[in-house]
Structure 1
Amino acid sequence: MITGEIKNKVDKIWETFWTGGITNPLTVIEQFTYLLFIKGLDETETTKEKEAEFLGIDYVGLFPKDKQHLRWHRFKQLGSAEEMYNVVSNEVFPFIKNLHGKDESAYSKYMGDAMFMIPTANMLAKIVDGIDNITMKDRDTQGDLYEYLLSKIATSGTNGQFRTPRHIIKMMVELMKPTPEDIIIDPAMGSAGFLVAASEYLRDNHNDLFLVQGLKEHFHNTMFYGNDMDRTMLRIGAMNMMLHGVDNPNIDYRDSLAEINRDKEQYTLVLANPPFKGSLDYEAVSNDLLKIAKTKKTELLFLSLFIRILKPGGRAAVIVPDGVLFGSSNAHKQIRKEIIDNHKLEAIISMPSGVFKPYAGVSTAVIIFTKTCAGGTDDVWFYEMKADGFSLDDRRSPIEQNDIPDILTRFNNLEGEKEHKRTEQSFFVPVEELRENEYGLSINKYKEIEYEEMVYEEPIVLVNKIKDLETEVNNGINELEALLSEKL
């Protein structure tokens, strides 16, 4: 997690924005991100230059010879704040907006209408100085910094747009183990947290993919897909992906649930935490999705979407509110029946209600399934997460209790789970039992509580003990009175 020192530095920069008149949290994040991006470009360029020099090969960088003064380490050293402001606003910013030229890349599409909004030279100088003091040597720090910035969006959660905690994203990615051949999508991507985490997993576990030209091209151009309806988040997501080393992610402005989205059987892996507070009119929803479950609830419609867009054999790990697991409406039952009977439901990991605090106290679960179009659900694995390494109040302070390592260990050895009793933290439930319970997927429906019989002493014995204690107290009071009388 991000350190207290970095938090303090970010808070000071945030205060500079605020006192300078930029008070919209998304605008602050956007402007902050542009400058982080500019700094990151320069650091990446420096690293590649050193590598090329070490290997004795030529390197054609992002910054042409006549644009070297646009690099972070150069313009931050300019003599005056006004001079730096002119370079950044009139040269650096247009340069990053047009990095991909006229290419139809996600970056060029969503940076096209980006605006530099820092109003004064002194304000820019303070912000540049503050960012320059933040060390971002590794991708983890960079990701944590993004996480902390996004946590400051006070409006998060008002439309069901919860920021998914980074450690939960990482857990879901590690459960699914993306492969170099996967085609990965998040149809409600926000800042692209799931896509970034998947790219990091592949770098850490399949680094050899960059030695195979076809796989390398796939990684940079055809592996990652994301949709969102907020252009600001699309810009932040595009920069986030580029800073994390994905050159050309397929990020689109799109209402994933609308008729305009024609995606069908295109992807092999869905990772998502879709909005689950919304309710749409039937006219606004694709007819294909309503065929699976006629509903206005976004959380159910997104599950229908995941089924449609996955290729046969494709997998999904997605966050759903608890209501999806036990809701009694026809639509709730239809979507659960569809996944269980026509595909392969593998796991339900229930999470405590504090995971999304301070935005919401809603209880959620991770649902994992594979699209088969031919059934295959056998025994479904249930796990009750009680702690995720952070307190479950609004402060979300780090604590020792953390079930995530246990979840990963057990999920990777499901054979060893088969003998577990319903009184334990994880266990299997056979599909026949799910069907008997109207396809209910709430862990509370299946877990058993072991009651320990308490044996108490006879009432008369307890009464005598109370009398003995009373006698002792009275004796003590009498002794104290005697001592006080002697002193008087």
Structure 2
Amino acid sequence: MITGEMKNKVDKIWETFWTGGITNPLTVIEQFTYLLFIKGLDDAELIKEQEAEVLGLPYEGIFPEDKQHLRWHRFKQLGSADEMYEVVSKEVFPFIKSLHGNEDSAYSKYMDDAMFLIPTANMLAKIVDGIDNLPMKGRDTQGDLYEYLLSKIATAGTNGQFRTPRHIIKMMVELMKPTPEDIIIDPAMGSAGFLVAASEYLHQHHEDLFLVQGLKEHFHNTMFYGNDMDRTMLRIGAMNMMLHGVDNPNIAYRDSLSEANKDKDKYTLVLANPPFKGSLDYEAVSNDLLKIAKTKKTELLFLSLFIRILKPGGRAAVIVPDGVLFGSSNAHKKIRKEIIDNHKLEAIISMPSGVFKPYAGVSTAIMIFTKTGAGGTDNVWFYDMKADGFSLDDKRTPIEETDIPDIIERFQHLDAEKDRKRTEQSFFVPVEELRENEYDLSINKYKEIEYEEIEYEAPEVILNRIEELEKDISKGIQELKAIIRS
């Protein structure tokens, strides 16, 4: 998360939008993102040009010779605000909309109806100046900025969607360790945070994949998939992916739960935080999903979807509301039974209720499982996360306490967890015990609390002490009265 000076600068830019008449938070984010994207393209181009010059290699960038004036560092230096406005609105914006000539690309599809809505030259000049002063060094800063912008959407959407904190996304990606061969999907992608984090992980841990032509092609064209039903978020997601070095992500305007989604046995890794609280009509839901558990609840339907779309051996790390873990309806029990008995449930990481503030105070957990079709659940690892590095109130200010490094370390060495007691922060529960408890996955069902015995003094001793205190009080009052009278 961003704090201090950076936060103040972003707030000031936001205020410029607001006072200029753009008051819809999503519209502000979208227009803000266009300009960040335009600047990001130029920044990336400058780095590549410098690298090519050092190596003595030819470099053909995305800005042709006759379009050099469309670059951020060029148009921001134009003599007047009106001149810059003319260039940005009439040339730069159409240029970024047509960046991907391929009409089938996600970028082209969702930029097609993008509109430049900044109304005046002076307003644009203020915003460009503000963005130019943002310290945008490094991809982490950019990710933090996106997260902060999205946090400006103060309420959850109609289906209960809200933004996943970036450090939680990063933790889930590090737990799953994506490989260069993976085919990754987020069926409720929003701004593509999970996909971006997965691409970043591969950049950091598998840099050699970009030296192998087949893997490089896979990374840019067939590795990343995302669905959403909000075109604004699809545009933001497409730009986000492109800025993070994925040329052609497979982003689709699609209701993942509908009959129109035919995906089956297609992906090797699901990373998602699907909408909670939603309730759909049976007619709107794919019949395949209702076979596992007949329900209208989106959080259960998405679990059925994850099972269907994963290839055998495919893995999932997904966020679910606590109700999924212990709900007593037939649908709740059926979906838990399906995952435990017919696939391999590996871990339940219980998160504190403040993780999603200020959007919601709902308690959630991360569920990690592998699709097998033949069972395999033996011992399920439970972890009781108590801190994530931020306060658990609406302010979410940074604090020192965090369990995230411990979670990652322990999950990567589960063999060392076998002797942990139920009184500790993490422990195993055998599958037989889960079945005996009607597949209840709530950590509180299995966690044991050690109570310290407290010895109190005998009642007579306490009473004598109270009497002595009363005598002292009475004596003090008498002394005060004597002072007042004299």
TM-score under structure 1 length normalisation: 0.97
Q: Equivalents in 2 of 1:56, 1:458: separation in Å?
A: 87
- The question of whether the paired residues in 2 share the 8 Å contact of 1:16 and 1:127 is answered with yes
What is the match of residue 121 of structure 1?
Answer: 121
Q: Secondary structure at the match of 2:179?
A: coil
- The question of whether the paired residues in 1 share the 8 Å contact of 2:388 and 2:401 is answered with yes
What is the match of residue 293 of structure 2?
Answer: 293
- 1:367-446 equivalences under 5 Å are 367-446=367-446
- The question of whether the paired residues in 2 share the 8 Å contact of 1:275 and 1:298 is answered with yes
How many percent of aligned residue pairs carry the same amino acid? 85
What is the match of residue 173 of structure 1?
Answer: 173
What is the match of residue 263 of structure 1?
Answer: 263
- The question of whether the paired residues in 2 share the 8 Å contact of 1:194 and 1:272 is answered with yes
Shift of 1:157: 4.0
Q: Secondary structure at the match of 2:429?
A: strand
Shift of 1:389: 1.1
What is the match of residue 225 of structure 1?
Answer: 225
C-alpha distance after superposition, 1:138-187 (max 9, x if no partner): 00000001001000013434431111011110111111111111110000
What is the match of residue 462 of structure 1?
Answer: 462
- The question of whether the paired residues in 2 share the 8 Å contact of 1:157 and 1:359 is answered with no
Shift of 1:475: 4.1
Q: Equivalents in 2 of 1:393, 1:335: separation in Å?
A: 32
What is the match of residue 140 of structure 2?
Answer: 140
C-alpha distance after superposition, 1:333-380 (max 9, x if no partner): 110000000000000011111111111111110000000111000010
- The question of whether the paired residues in 1 share the 8 Å contact of 2:97 and 2:111 is answered with yes
Q: Equivalents in 1 of 2:454, 2:33: separation in Å?
A: 60
Shift of 1:469: 2.6
Pair 1:473–1:155, CA change in 2 (3 A): closer
Count matched residues: 486
What is the match of residue 327 of structure 1?
Answer: 327
List alignment gaps of at least 5 residues for structure 1: none
Q: Secondary structure at the match of 2:86?
A: helix
- The question of whether the paired residues in 1 share the 8 Å contact of 2:154 and 2:358 is answered with no
Shift of 1:474: 3.7
Q: Secondary structure at the match of 2:324?
A: helix
What is the match of residue 213 of structure 2?
Answer: 213
Select between 461-470 and 166-175 the one with higher mean Cα deviation. 461-470
Q: Secondary structure at the match of 1:101?
A: coil
Select between 305-314 and 417-426 the one with higher mean Cα deviation. 417-426
1:324 partner letter: V
TM-score under structure 2 length normalisation: 0.98
Q: Secondary structure at the match of 1:348?
A: strand
What is the match of residue 344 of structure 2?
Answer: 344
List alignment gaps of at least 5 residues for structure 2: none
C-alpha distance after superposition, 1:68-122 (max 9, x if no partner): 0000000001111111111001100000000011342111111111111111111
2:413 partner letter: N
Q: Secondary structure at the match of 1:454?
A: coil
Q: Equivalents in 1 of 2:127, 2:464: separation in Å?
A: 74
Select between 352-361 and 454-463 the one with higher mean Cα deviation. 454-463
C-alpha distance after superposition, 1:423-469 (max 9, x if no partner): 11111111001001111101111111222222222111111122223
Q: Secondary structure at the match of 1:252?
A: strand
- 1:185-224 equivalences under 5 Å are 185-224=185-224
Q: Secondary structure at the match of 1:449?
A: coil
- The question of whether the paired residues in 1 share the 8 Å contact of 2:325 and 2:440 is answered with yes
Shift of 1:54: 0.6
Select between 303-312 and 4-13 the one with higher mean Cα deviation. 4-13
- The question of whether the paired residues in 1 share the 8 Å contact of 2:169 and 2:194 is answered with yes
RMSD: 1.3
Select between 38-47 and 442-451 the one with higher mean Cα deviation. 442-451
- 1:16-35 equivalences under 5 Å are 16-35=16-35
Select between 453-462 and 13-22 the one with higher mean Cα deviation. 453-462
What is the match of residue 14 of structure 1?
Answer: 14
2:204 partner letter: D
Select between 343-352 and 447-456 the one with higher mean Cα deviation. 447-456
Shift of 1:319: 0.3
1:262 partner letter: K
C-alpha distance after superposition, 1:236-282 (max 9, x if no partner): 00000001111111101111001111111111000000001111111
- The question of whether the paired residues in 2 share the 8 Å contact of 1:157 and 1:360 is answered with no
Shift of 1:471: 3.0
Q: Equivalents in 2 of 1:402, 1:135: separation in Å?
A: 26
- 1:471-486 equivalences under 5 Å are 471-478=471-478
Q: Secondary structure at the match of 1:389?
A: strand
Select between 31-40 and 3-12 the one with higher mean Cα deviation. 3-12
Q: Equivalents in 2 of 1:21, 1:477: separation in Å?
A: 67
